[in-house]
Amino acid sequence: MRLKLLTPEEMNPAQKQTHDEAIAGKRGKPPAPMMAWLNSPEMARHATRLGEVLRFDTIFPAKLSEIAILVTARHWTSHYEWFAHKRLALQGGMDPKIIEDIRDRRTPTFDDPKAKMIYDVAKSLHEGHGVPKALYDEAVELLSLRGVVEVIGLCGYYTMVSMTLNTFEFGLPDGQVSELA
Query: For 8, which DSSP code?
Result: G
pLDDT of residue 64: 97
pLDDT of residue 158: 97
Is 78 inside a domain boundary?
Answer: yes
pLDDT of residue 88: 94
Contact 30, 48 (CB under 8 A): yes
* Radius of gyration of the chain from its Cα atoms, rounded to whole angstroms: 17
The verdict on 143 and 95 lying in the same domain is yes
Is 174 inside a domain boundary?
Answer: no
Contact 34, 20 (CB under 8 A): no
The verdict on 68 and 51 lying in the same domain is no
Domain extent, residue 100, equals 62-167
pLDDT of residue 2: 87
pLDDT of residue 86: 96
pLDDT of residue 76: 98
How many beta carbons lie within 10 A of that of residue 70, not counting itself?
25
pLDDT of residue 28: 81
- Please list the ranges in the chain whose pLDDT falls under 50: none
Is 152 inside a domain boundary?
Answer: yes
The verdict on 68 and 19 lying in the same domain is no
